[in-house]
Amino acid sequence: MPKFAANLTMLFNELPFLDRFAAAKSAGFSGVEFLFPYEFEKVVLREKLDRYGLVQVLHNLPAGNWGAGERGIAVLPDRISEFRAGVERAIDYARALDCHQLNCLAGIAPVGIDTGTLHRVFVENLRFAADALARHNIRLLIEAINTRDIPGFFLSGTQQAEDIIAEVGSDNLFIQYDIYHMQIMEGDLAPTIGKHFHRIAHIQLADTPGRHEPGTGEINFPYLLRYLDEIGYAGWVGCEYKPKTATDDSLAWLAGQAIAA
């Protein structure tokens, strides 16, 4: 079965963030991911990873004012300088944490700016980021998000992501495929993953509706996880779901699966 990483933004919320590393290790995970590291000192996060023998699988580029509802700034014409400064900051953290994948959230399309302009800015920013990350052996990922949870999110489909990657023209730009978001937007999960397999570098999961653990909704995860094995997916699968009960109880679906690397 695929190797699973604990998303510490979503899981183990019963604990303060810095205590979640130990909880993930205790639950059997050897990899972790989270949205953002930037409110913590790099040395503190590094110490947690080293103490518990964990791999930092992924985190995001800075994405604007998250608390105010921003969900990325990569498409915003008036935030290019901020985006590019954020790329350098993300690289600094990724190198300290030995993290080899960074995800770029496109952002919500602002009212009053035409789609063509937003697309152009996004492509130019991705070229800059992909080149900058490549110099440090870090992959750049982009993620399509469902527009029910985040209305107006600019990047909302797998083929759209593939087309943007082709236009950017970098061999250091990949897809982060989120099963939850793409079940809402597209369905047809296995054929879509198969079609775009050559560009999928990371997968995240949650069931729908509710964004809870596998087995609580409509997605056939036993089939889907077997399918990932069949097509030779060797990357990580991030458990980015909201536990329906306590986190430890929500992990029952992982029984018998190889959650460690």
Among candidates 48, 60, 54, 58, which has minimal Cα distance to 30? Answer: 54
Residue 22 pLDDT exceeds 80: yes
Q: What are the pLDDT digits (tens) for 100-110? A: 999 999 999 99
Q: Tell me the two tokens of residue 250.
A: 């929500």
The per-residue pLDDT for 231 is 96
The per-residue pLDDT for 24 is 98
The per-residue pLDDT for 222 is 94
Which residues are registered as beta bridge partners of 200? Answer: 175
Judge if pTM exceeds 0.85.
yes
Identity at 72, one-letter amino acid code: G
Q: Tell me the two tokens of residue 119.
A: 């697309």
Q: How far apart are CA 180 and CA 146, in angstroms?
A: 8
Give domain 3-258's CATH number out of 3.20.20.150, 3.40.50.2300, 3.30.420.270, 3.40.50.720.
3.20.20.150
Among candidates 9, 174, 49, 46, which has minimal Cα distance to 103? Answer: 174
Mean of all residue pLDDT scores within the chain: 96
Residue 48 pLDDT exceeds 90: yes
Determine which one of 33, 162, 213, 240 is catalytic.
Answer: 240
| Residue ranges per structural domain of the chain | 3-258
Work out the average pLDDT over 250-261: 72
Percent of the chain past pLDDT 90, that is, above it, reads 96
- Determine contact, residues 172/159, Cβ cutoff 8 Å: no
Residue 68 pLDDT exceeds 60: yes
Work out the average pLDDT over 27-46: 98
Residue 46 pLDDT exceeds 80: yes
Work out the average pLDDT over 237-242: 98
The per-residue pLDDT for 256 is 59
Residue 82 pLDDT exceeds 50: yes
Determine which one of 47, 124, 143, 213 is catalytic.
Answer: 143
Residue 258 pLDDT exceeds 60: no
Residue 261 pLDDT exceeds 50: no
Q: How far apart are CA 70 and CA 74, in angstroms?
A: 11
Catalytic annotation present for 240 = yes
Q: What are the pLDDT digits (tens) for 188-206? A: 999 999 999 999 999 999 9
Q: What are the pLDDT digits (tens) for 150-171? A: 999 999 999 999 999 999 999 9
Find the DSSP H helices in 103-204. Answer: 115-134, 158-168, 179-185, 189-195
131 Cβ contact list (under 8 Å, min separation 6)? 170, 172
* Per-residue confidence band for 260, with pLDDT thresholds at 50, 70 and 90: very low
